[in-house]
Structure 1
Amino acid sequence: MHFISRREWAFLALVFLYSFIPAVVGLVRLPELLGAPAIIPPNPRAVIDPLPITLHILGSSVFCLVGAVQFLPSLRRCRPALHRALGRIVAVAGCVSALTGLWMTVAYAFPDTLQGPLLYVARVTLSLAMVALISWAIVAIRSRNVAAHRAAMLRAYAIGQGASTQTALFLVAMALFDTEPLGFSRDLLMIGAWVINLAIAELMIRRAFAARTSGAVI
């Protein structure tokens, strides 16, 4: 991987660090879901119906960690075949993550303190949006519309990374108020994390568009 620049390695390190807590907590829960003794406090919903959360953990981990590699310009430029191969894996993992997230939202019985109507609607909407964006990204790249492909995948990635930003906001909230947000405030915090991610994604897309336009003019 000598073709990856130091700046890109720094980007990967930052994304992996940002994804560390939700990814590791999810992976640590896998033995419990497979019947082993719980390492962290058990999740009753997961124990009763472990399949969707197991698939969600695996799909989300692959999508967030391997997906970060896909954004490296040097990978696309120097190893296009690898980029395409990883892209297929990331697309499947992203759809698995989104659809199992939708599955859990609809099938699991959440107490109102952990999921109110607002968060329920947001989760359903964003799960469907993530699948739609990944599907559109596939259609776009098959049509050789690279800009649309990258924009759609960046938006899907912003949704998929929601848990990382939610973790960061939860840590800040608990540090400030010395208590875990619950009820409506929790819903707002969870949704706010997706809003932040999508806003950053839109800024990056606009910046890339402006750079292409400027280059075309020159």
Structure 2
Amino acid sequence: MHIISRREWAFLALVFLYSFIPAVVGLIRLPELLGAPAIIPSNPRAVIDPLPITLHILGSSVFCLVGAVQFLPSLRRYRPALHRTLGRIVAAAGCISALTGLWMTVAYAFPDALQGPLLYAGRVTLSLAMVAFIAWAIVAIRSRKVAAHRAAMLRAYAIGQGASTQTALFLCAMAFFDTELQGFARDLLMVGAWTINLAIAELLIRRTFAARTSDAVI
């Protein structure tokens, strides 16, 4: 797409690289969930009830990868029809990702080492918040509140990208402690990753709002 600038291509490459491990690991697990031999270590919860995790992998991959394209100014400016079409796909994928995440949190039996009360509460709260942000984004754009639409989608995207930040933090923790975190420490790291993403999203929203306010004054 020649309308995309080099800076935007660099942004897409960075997001795709950041999303690589959770997206690829999830997609590699799909054949196992469909009955093929396991390529990576088996997940017993997924084998027993493969539907929610299959939908979650597909929804999350589309939301994180296609969703990144939606933030490109060039796409919105020169291909508004494509932006709207992709937006519908991304919104649906995001809701699938969030609702199946909630489904697995409530329905799967996690050992305490992998999910304690903190992580359980965080997953339930953020799954519902992600759906709420997407719903508000749809309402906002239908009311032509573009800034509110973009802010809501950025917050939803920050939640959806939680697995990428969690992966990065887990790799750092394993390098530092030379062991995999479990129990409360694991819960804290998982929730902390979402907190970091949402904090960055709020900074970007405030920075964008401040820049536009400054331009309006000038």
TM-score, with length taken from structure 2? 1.00
- Give the alignment of 1:62-211 within 5 angstroms: 62-211=62-211
Match of 1:30 in 2: 30
SS of residue matched to 1:159 = helix
Q: CA deviation at 1:124?
A: 0.1
Query: Which residue identity is paired with 2:176?
Result: L
Distance in 1, matches of 2:211 and 2:74, equals: 18
- Give the alignment of 1:7-22 within 5 angstroms: 7-22=7-22
Cα deviations by residue, 1:61-102 (Å, 9 ceiling, x for unpaired): 000000000000000000000000000000000000000000
Q: CA deviation at 1:145?
A: 0.1
Q: Which runs of 4+ in 1 moved over 3 A?
A: none
Q: CA deviation at 1:207?
A: 0.4
Match of 1:61 in 2: 61
> Where does the alignment leave 5 or more consecutive residues of structure 1 unmatched?
none
Cα deviations by residue, 1:140-173 (Å, 9 ceiling, x for unpaired): 0000000000000000000000000000000000
Q: What do you get for the CA RMSD once the two structures are aligned?
A: 0.2
SS of residue matched to 1:144 = coil
Q: CA deviation at 1:108?
A: 0.0
Distance in 1, matches of 2:179 and 2:104, equals: 26
Match of 2:214 in 1: 214
> Where does the alignment leave 5 or more consecutive residues of structure 2 unmatched?
none
TM-score, with length taken from structure 1? 1.00
Q: CA deviation at 1:11?
A: 0.2
Distance in 2, matches of 1:121 and 1:195, equals: 14
Sequence identity of aligned pairs in percent? 89
Cα deviations by residue, 1:16-75 (Å, 9 ceiling, x for unpaired): 000000000000000000000000000000000000000000000000000000000000
